[in-house]
Amino acid sequence: MENETGLKQEIVLQRPAAIAIAEIESQIATAKQYPRDIKVFKDKLMAMANLDRETAEGCYYAVPRGGKTIDGPSVRLAEIALSCYGNCVAEADIVNEDEKYIYAMGQCRDLENNVSVRVRIRRKITNKHGKRYNDDLIAVTANAACAIALRNAIFKVVPGAYIKPVFDKVKRTAVGDAKSLSNRRAEVLERLALLGVDEVRVLHTLNRSNVDSITFEDIAKLIGLGTAVYDGDTELDTAFPMPIPEGEKASGVNGLKERMKSKKAEAKNEDAKAEPEVAPEPSDKDIETNFQLEQQEIEADNKLADEQFEKVGTDEPESIDEPDPVLGKPDKNEEQQALRYLCRACSEENEKLTAKGLCRKCLSKNILDRRTS
């Protein structure tokens, strides 16, 4: 009796697995029998995504990241792409949940090409104060997490080369042409007002001074931010932050970042003022050039001294009465004439003196002093 019961339980456990395998094999056989046509897929995807303006607006999203706005194809475009691509099976479900996060997994299987992809994501289920959401808000977050996981899995299977031209076209369709700029501005602002976003927050998000300065690119950004909020990719306060009144400091992470930036800028300015200007070190080429110039000056001084000594005899110096520019005119008394072989600058005895009564050493020093003065 126990054997019969155990056998029945084993059969019951094996039956779901056998059914699942049979379903997959049947789907693969059908996909091989009716392969997809890429041209038909591309035309169908382009037509469905740009069916009307409302559809195009839901086919892309935009989220603020690191001071910039990043856009991409949304969940709605992923659903359209999956339907047009065909021969695929996709699903998503919640796989885990803890105190702070909820985890979802999306899977997409291409039956025709035998490709399967799984993507796992997590979404926070606590507010900015760390308090856990209530049950209803957790259920909404779980649905958004499943949708995002499914989108990411689908776009891992459907090639991005087919998605990009459609993504560019839906943005143009959503924004409109130049004739409808003012009307589109009014429509988008009106729809954002229903979400609780006034013109002040819109202008602060776009960094614009007035409504008339909003461009087509700004309209596309606003539409993408609205889609991201609707799909659960971001929160309303994150997409459209409140402007900070003048005189008040920002709070939270943004305020901390701003204060750190200002402190770094002040410290940098103080360091720049405190550090003295340091002259650049001369290069090897400059050192070699200066050395050559000094050698040329020394050779010129020696040559000039030799020319002066060639004019002087051993008896008495020429033009002893000529005034010296440094020492002045020499005395003409007999005592001074008797000391004509003494240098007038250093008073040392020398066999030869210049016409100005200087020895070779003092003459070189005199020439050098006049050049540097």
Say what the pTM is: 0.57
Residue after which a domain boundary falls, among 136, 169, 202 = 169
Who wins on pLDDT, 231 or 297?
Answer: 231
* Residues 262-288 pLDDT 10s: 666 666 666 555 555 555 665 666 656
Residue 235 lies in a domain: no
Looking at the fold, whether 165 and 43 belong to one and the same domain comes out as yes
Residue 30 has a pLDDT of 87
Residue 62 lies in a domain: yes
**CB within 8 A of 162, min separation 6: which ones?**
38, 41, 42, 45, 81
What's the pLDDT band for 90 if we cut at 50, 70, 90? very high
- The arithmetic mean of pLDDT across residues 356-363, rounded, is 69
As for how many domains the chain has, the answer is 3
Looking at the fold, whether 60 and 129 belong to one and the same domain comes out as yes
Question: Which residue blocks in the chain are alpha helix, DSSP H?
Answer: 2-33, 38-49, 53-57, 75-85, 135-157, 160-175, 181-194, 199-206, 216-231, 236-239, 252-274, 284-310, 334-338, 360-372
First to last CA, the chain: 124
Residue tagged 């054997």 (tokens): 3
Share of the chain above pLDDT 70, in %: 64
Angle at alpha carbon of residue 86, lines to 80 and 89, rounded to 5°:
90
Residue 225 has a pLDDT of 86
Token pair recorded at residue 335? 């005592």
Residue 78 has a pLDDT of 94
Helix (H) or strand (E) holding 88: strand 88-97
Task: Determine the Cα–Cα distance for residues 361 and 346; give it in Å rounded to an integer.
Answer: 9
Who wins on pLDDT, 345 or 75?
Answer: 75
Task: Determine the Cα–Cα distance for residues 298 and 368; give it in Å rounded to an integer.
Answer: 9
Looking at the fold, whether 20 and 52 belong to one and the same domain comes out as no
- The arithmetic mean of pLDDT across residues 283-296, rounded, is 64
* Residues 5-19 pLDDT 10s: 554 455 544 557 777
Looking at the fold, whether 369 and 328 belong to one and the same domain comes out as yes
Residue after which a domain boundary falls, among 122, 144, 169 = 169
Burial class (CB in 10 A: 0-12, 13-18, 19+), 264: exposed
Residue 98 lies in a domain: yes
Who wins on pLDDT, 146 or 246?
Answer: 146
* Residues 113-136 pLDDT 10s: 989 999 999 999 998 888 999 989
What's the pLDDT band for 40 if we cut at 50, 70, 90? very high
Side chain identity at residue 206, one-letter code: L
Residue 288 lies in a domain: no
Who wins on pLDDT, 213 or 136?
Answer: 136
Residue 221 lies in a domain: no
Looking at the fold, whether 73 and 158 belong to one and the same domain comes out as yes
Looking at the fold, whether 126 and 110 belong to one and the same domain comes out as yes
With beta carbons less than 8 A apart as the criterion, state whether 44 and 84 touch: yes
Task: Determine the Cα–Cα distance for residues 268 and 116; give it in Å rounded to an integer.
Answer: 53
SS3 state of residue 360: helix
Residue 13 lies in a domain: yes
101 bridge partner residues:
124
Looking at the fold, whether 65 and 161 belong to one and the same domain comes out as yes
Residue 220 has a pLDDT of 85
Residue 47 has a pLDDT of 94
Burial class (CB in 10 A: 0-12, 13-18, 19+), 324: middle
Residue 307 has pLDDT above 70, yes or no: no
Looking at the fold, whether 103 and 10 belong to one and the same domain comes out as no
Residue after which a domain boundary falls, among 116, 148, 169 = 169
Looking at the fold, whether 112 and 63 belong to one and the same domain comes out as yes
Task: Determine the Cα–Cα distance for residues 96 and 193; give it in Å rounded to an integer.
Answer: 36
Q: Among 2-6, 144-148, 260-264, which range has the highest average pLDDT? A: 144-148
Residue 6 has a pLDDT of 52
Residue 228 has a pLDDT of 84
Residue 300 lies in a domain: no
Task: Determine the Cα–Cα distance for residues 265 and 83; give it in Å rounded to an integer.
Answer: 54
Who wins on pLDDT, 73 or 257?
Answer: 73
C-alpha 213: how far from chain center: 27
- The arithmetic mean of pLDDT across residues 132-149, rounded, is 92
Long-range contact set of residues 23-29: C-beta below 8 Å, sequence gap at least 24: 24/111, 27/89, 27/111, 28/111, 28/114
CA distances 63 to 70, 178, 230, Å, are 5, 25, 12
What mean pLDDT value characterizes the chain?
76
**CB within 8 A of 369, min separation 6: which ones?**
none
Residue 313 has a pLDDT of 45
- The arithmetic mean of pLDDT across residues 234-258, rounded, is 66
Range of the domain at 359: 314-373
* Residues 310-350 pLDDT 10s: 554 444 444 444 555 544 555 544 444 444 557 777 777 76
Looking at the fold, whether 42 and 165 belong to one and the same domain comes out as yes
Residue 141 has a pLDDT of 92
What's the pLDDT band for 206 if we cut at 50, 70, 90? confident
Looking at the fold, whether 27 and 132 belong to one and the same domain comes out as no
Residue 55 lies in a domain: yes
- The arithmetic mean of pLDDT across residues 243-263, rounded, is 60
